[in-house]
Amino acid sequence: MRKHGFLISLLLLPLLLFTNCNNNTNRSINTISIDTPIDWGVSMAEDTIKMTTVLRNLGSRDILIDFFAIPCACITVEAESNVIKQNDSTLIHIRFRPQAGEAGFIVNNIFVHFKNIQEPGHFAISGRIRRR
């Protein structure tokens, strides 16, 4: 009789483990998508460069934007909405004013932090700055 109980336990163990794994996959998962690359082309050093991109919520619950981490005061970033419903999107408006003496090919990384997602989203803006 002990032998049968042991065999039954061995047969049920994978079923219990499989059930626990499946329960973990049912949690709400957030996924974002940001339209990239964001390349403004060629601009003069005195220009204020305006760009727009789309942040999409491909997840199963609403996303709450907390803040944008930017590399310098020469960039401002604003979302049209800080709450992005599931399967919806918002526009992200970016303004870049080159710093004095900046010229050549420029790349700046921008991170978007969320209130309810641990990992930040990332996108880069790039282009060429010419001096007069």
The parent domain of residue 65 ranges over 32-130
Q: Name residue, tokens 């590399």.
A: 71
Residue 70: which of 92, 46, 89 has the closest Cα?
Answer: 92
Q: Report if residue 65 sits inside a domain.
A: yes
* Helix (H) or strand (E) run with residue 34 in it: strand 32-34
> Tokens 């992200």 belong to which residue?
92
CATH number of domain containing 82: 2.60.40.10
What digits encode the pLDDT tens for the residues 83-121? 999 999 999 999 999 988 899 999 999 999 999 999 999
pLDDT tens string 69-93? 999 999 999 999 999 999 999 999 9
In a domain? residue 48? yes
End-to-end CA, the chain: 92
pTM of the full structure: 0.75
